Amino acid sequence: MTFKPARLLLALLAVVAMPVFAQNIAVVNGKAIPSSRAEAVVKQVVAQGQQPDSPQLREMIKKDLIAREVLMQEAVKKGFDKDATVKQQLENARQAIVINALVRDYLDKNPVKDADIQAEYDRFKAQAGDKEYHVRHILTSTEAEAKDVIAKLKAGAKFEDLAKTSKDQGTAANGGDLDWATPSSFPKEFSAAFTALQKGQVTETPVQTPNGFHVIKLDDVRTAKLPSLEEVKPQIAEGLQQKKLQAYQEEMVKKAKIQ
C-alpha cells in the first residue's frame, strides 16, 4: 500500500497537530510531573476504549495529574503518608500490583489451549447428558410425611394440589414445578430417581437428599438444548485460567519455607 502525495501530507499534518507532552507536563511547588506518567494514562484510556487520543483528553489528564499532585503534597505535609493505616493500605496495593504482574506473565507463558477448551466442553456435555427433564417435586421433613403424600396420590389426589404443602416455598405455589433441567443440575439421588421414571410417573418411595424427603413427578423429557462451544468458550477459558492459577499458587506455597 502506498500513500498518494496529498494523503501523505494529511497524515503528516495529523501527526504534527497531535500535541505531545514535554519532558515534564508541569512543575508543582518545585516537584515535576513527568510526561511518562501522563502518557501512561493516555495509553490506558485509549486502550480501554473510553476516549480517543485528542488534545482535549490530554489537557484533561494534565489538569487531573496536577490536581492530584497538589493534594498529595498537602497530604504529605500533614503527615498522612506516615499514618500506620495508610502505610498498610499502600503495602496491600503494592502487593496487588506486583502479584497482578506475575499473574499476567504466567498466563502469557501458559495460555489456555483450544484443545483444553474443547476437552472441557466435551466433559461438560457428557456430564449434562443429551436429555432435559421437566420435573415436579413435593418436599417433606420426614419420610413418613412423604409416604403419606404418595398414598394420597395413589388414592387420586392431584400432585399440584398436594404440592401446596411442600416445604420448598419456591415451588409450592406453582405445583412443585422445577422447570426443564439436566440431571447434573440436581443431587445424584434426586436425578437418579426421576431419570428412572416414565412420563407422568411419580416415585413409589420417598427420595432422600440433604434437603429432606422428596416425592418426584416426571412431566416430560426432551433432547437437551446445550449451548454451542462458541457460546461458552469465553467462560470455559476463564474457568481453566482460574484452575491454572490455583494450581500455580498451590505449587508455590508448597515450595515455600513457612515457619
Q: How confident is the model at residue 20 (pLDDT cuts 50, 70, 90)?
A: low
Interatomic CA distance for residues 225 and 179, integer angstroms = 14
Tell me, what's the pLDDT at 21? 61
DSSP collapsed to 3 states, 173-237: CCCCEEEEECHHHCCHHHHHHHCCCCCCCECCCCEEECCEEEEEEEEEEEECCCCCHHHHHHHHH
Position 182 pLDDT exceeds 80: yes
Tell me, what's the pLDDT at 22? 64
Tell me, what's the pLDDT at 250? 96
Residues 99-144: tens digit of each pLDDT: 999 999 999 999 999 999 999 999 988 888 889 999 999 999 999 9
Instruction: Give the three cell numbers for residue 95.
Output: 502487593
Interatomic CA distance for residues 186 and 183, integer angstroms = 6
Position 167 pLDDT exceeds 70: yes
Which whole-number Å values give the CA distances from 195 to 130, 152, 188, 191, 199, in the listed order? 12, 23, 11, 6, 10
Interatomic CA distance for residues 155 and 151, integer angstroms = 6
Tell me, what's the pLDDT at 125? 86
Contact in structure between 140 and 213 (CB atoms under 8 Å): yes
- Coil, strand or helix: which one is 62? helix
Position 93 pLDDT exceeds 50: yes
pTM above 0.75, yes or no: no
Tell me, what's the pLDDT at 127? 82
